[in-house]
Amino acid sequence: MKEEFLEIRDLKKSFGEGEAKQEVLRGMDFTVKKGEFCVLLGPSGSGKSTLLNIIGGIDTPDSGYVSINGDKLEEMNESQLTMYRRKHLGYVFQMYNLIPNLNVKENIEVGAYLSDNPLDVEEVLTTLGLQDHKYKYPNQLSGGQQQRVSIGRAVVKNPDILMCDEPTGALDYKTSKEILALIEDCNKKYGNTVIMVTHNEAIKNMADHVIKLRDGVVRHNDINENKITAAELEW
């Protein structure tokens, strides 16, 4: 039985004031176990990215708390939050946000540098199928290749949690499946907890844990007993 790793309790967050006030999270509760592949599913405006940002310690809730391994984020100051991100989190964004004047290998080293026990950069390059491209610059790569690099940068830290914000949002079907397969591989191989935000319903089928959000609350919180591989996904 996997232990409870991430705990989210009565999380609330709103933007704006007065009439323009918009409640994005309206009391969210759930837990994620260590090593779980968790998908946060929901349409635009359901609060999934905001939730991810709060879990990532780059945004703060109005009330409620996020606790990782028993440590509450709200009790951390800025430098503790930075250390928390540094030691525990890997980020993959829809936009790859690579450093333009560093090559592929160096962009991955940017992640490795932050970690006390990084993975071998060469191994990650091989895993991600980037060996042939490792001396290329980001602007010499396709979108899918760039997203691989960005996954490599996150994974190489060997983070406890891999946060993926719509990682396939800007990619075509085939490339999306390749990227998902890579994240799946990493999850299996390195045992990271994966929290993936997506609005693509099909992706839920490859997750251990599916949390459906709508209007800032959890509508469904299911454990997927019939998990399939990324390769088997269809949409």
Partner 1 sequence: MKNPLIKRIPKELKSDWHKYFVIVVFMVVMIGVISGMYVGHDSMLAAVYGGRETLNLEDGSFELNKKASAELLDAISTGKKADVRQYYIDKGIEEADKEVAKAIDEKLNESVTEAITENVKAACEAYGITDEDQIKEQVDEALKENLESALKEARETDEFKQAEKDAYKEAHDKVVEEVDKEWDEAVKKYDLDNPGFASVKTVIYENFYRNESEEYGDGSEEATVRVFKSDSKVDKASFNEGRAPETENEIAIDRMHASNVGIEIGDAIKVGGKEFEVVGLLSYVNYLTLHESNTDLMFDAFGFDVAMVTPGGFDRLTARIHYNYAFKYVNAPEDKVEKADNSENFLKALITQTLVYDNEIEDYLPEYIRQASNFAVSDIEGDSAGAAILCYILIGVIAFIFAVTISNTIDKEASVIGTLRASGYSKGELIRHYMSMPVIVTFVGAIAGNVLGYTAFKDLAVNLYYESYSLPTCHTVWSNTALVKTTVIPLVLMFFINLIVIVKKLQLSPLRFLRHDLVKNKRAKARRLPKWAFLRRFRLRILFQNIPNYVILIFGVIFIELMMCFAFGLPDSLDHYAKEAPGMMFAPYQYMLMGSEDDDGNVITTGEKTAERFDAKNLIYPKKKSTFREGMGSGGDESVTAYGIGNDSDYISLESRTGAGKVYVSSAFAKKFGLKKGNSITLNEEYENKSYTFEVAGQVDYEGGIAVFMDIAGFKEVFEKEEDDFSGYFSRNEITDIDDKYIATVITKDDIIKVTNQLNHSMGGIINIFRYALIVLTAALIYLLAKIIIERNEQSISMAKILGFKNGEIGSLYIIPTAIVVTLFAFISFVIGYYLMIWIFHVFMLQMNGYFAFFMSIPSMILSVLYLLIGYAFVSILDFIRIRRIPMDVALKNVE
Residues making contact with partner 1 (CB under 8 A)? 53, 56, 58-59, 79, 82-87, 89-91, 93, 95-102, 106, 109-114, 118, 138-139, 146, 150, 153-154, 157
Please give the Cα distance from 10 to 54 (Å, whole number): 13
DSSP letter, residue 152: H
- To the nearest whole angstrom, how small is the minimum distance from the Cβ of residue 231 to partner 1? 28
Nearer to partner 1, 42 or 56 (CB): 56
3-state secondary structure of 185: helix
Nearer to partner 1, 79 or 226 (CB): 79
* E-only strand ranges, the chain: 4-15, 22-33, 37-41, 63-68, 71-72, 89-92, 161-165, 193-198, 209-214, 217-223
- To the nearest whole angstrom, how small is the minimum distance from the Cβ of residue 136 to partner 1? 13
Nearer to partner 1, 130 or 210 (CB): 130
CB distance 112 to 156 below 8 Å: yes
CB distance 37 to 208 below 8 Å: yes
- To the nearest whole angstrom, how small is the minimum distance from the Cβ of residue 11 to partner 1? 16
Nearer to partner 1, 113 or 173 (CB): 113
- To the nearest whole angstrom, how small is the minimum distance from the Cβ of residue 97 to partner 1? 4
Nearer to partner 1, 101 or 226 (CB): 101
- To the nearest whole angstrom, how small is the minimum distance from the Cβ of residue 143 to partner 1? 9
Please give the Cα distance from 227 to 93 (Å, whole number): 24
